Amino acid sequence: MAMMMPPRMNPSDSASGPKQHQSWSPYDNNGGTCVAIAGSDYCVLAADTRMSTGFSILTRDYSKIFQISDQCALASSGFQADIRALQKNLDARHQTYQHQHNKQMSCPAMAQLLSNTLYYKRFFPYYAFNVLGGLDDQGKGCVYSYDAVGSYERVGYAAQGSGMQLIIPVLDNQLKSASPLVLPKRESATPLSESEAVDLVKDTFASAAERDIYTGDGVEIIVINAQGVQKHYMELKKD
């Protein structure tokens, strides 16, 4: 169910008092956090498995990660109904691409497609905060971070969702060289090893789950590398 709007404060009404007006919203925020880290020959994508609405939990076991191709996966937080529609849309477009070109889409190509798909609905956006991760044409890890209408940038690591403000400072600190804030700008990948990156991701989620009420229950981690896709799972606090 879409969230009920809280009563709005209208500045021009200061004399007559605030107007109370409930209204229906087509959007809802199902919470959750997504993280991705790009390595020299791997990419780690992670998302918690909690789905909420308002102050309630809908389920403790929902996957926010979608594998679009062998080399590319999408982690999204926000309104899961919109996200599911977006995933299906991208999947259909990817199938058509495969029929026409006899090969799968590369991650950078998918990144552009996602941006265009999001901007297509510029005036009724997908309420989706996306992180796309995978291997680029050279086999190096790549991570792309998006806003709701398709503005995107290739980065060394990214986080989106309710816990992003808690996680990003930690990643900035731990992955110094890969930070997008460091000048000169380069799409560097972290020199960390795959297992170090996975451990870092687990730590960040454990910390985020402490303070963010919408992050918890479990974290699903996938690693994309030359050997394929491996999945990990770690329990998180249920409160």
Partner 1 sequence: MFRNQYDTDVTTWSPAGRLHQVEYAMEAVKQGSAAIGLRSKTHVVLATVNKASSELLSHQKKLFKIDNHIGIAMAGLTADGRVLSRYMRSECINHNFVYESPLPVGRLVVQVADKAQVCTQRSWKRPYGVGLLVAGTDETGPHLYQNCPSGNYFEYQAFAIGSRSQAAKTYLERKYETFMGCTKDELIRHALYAVKESLQEEELTSSNCGLALVGIDEKFEILDPKKLQAYIDSMEDATKEEAAPTEEQPPHVAAGALLTRESSGGVEVPADGDGPSPMET
- Just list the catalytic residues: 33
If one counts every other C-beta atom within 10 angstroms of the C-beta of residue 78, the result is: 26
Binds partner 1 (CB under 8 A): choice among 96, 151, 193, 195: 96
Q: Which amino acid is residue 141, in one-letter code? A: G
Identify the residue among 8, 19, 88, 231 touching partner 1 (CB under 8 A).
88
Q: Rg of the chain over CA atoms, in angstroms? A: 19
95, 151, 177, 193: which one contacts partner 1 (CB under 8 A)? 95
Least distance from C-beta 30 to partner 1, angstroms? 20
Residues contacting partner 1: total by CB under 8 A: 6
* Closer residue to partner 1 in complex, CB, 8/84: 84
In contact, 214 and 56? CB cutoff 8 Å = no
Nearest CB to partner 1, comparing residues 21 and 99: 99
Contact call for residue 103 and partner 1 (CB under 8 A): no
Q: Kindly state the smallest distance separating residue 101's Cβ from partner 1, in Å.
A: 13
For residues 196 and 203, is the Cβ–Cβ distance under 8 A? no
Q: What is the C-alpha separation between 91 and 98, in angstroms, rounded?
A: 11
How many whole angstroms separate alpha carbon 234 and alpha carbon 77? 18
Give the nearer residue to partner 1 in terms of CB position, either 86 or 142: 86
Give min distance, CB of 68 to partner 1, in A.
Answer: 14
Half-sphere exposure of 70 (CA within 13 A, CB side): 8
Q: What's the sign of the alpha-carbon dihedral 49, 205, 137, 113?
A: positive
Distance CA 102, CA 97 (A): 8
Is 21 a binding residue for partner 1 by CB under 8 A? The answer is no
> C-beta of 99: minimal distance to partner 1 in Å?
5
Residues that bind partner 1 (CB under 8 A): 88-89, 92, 95-96, 99
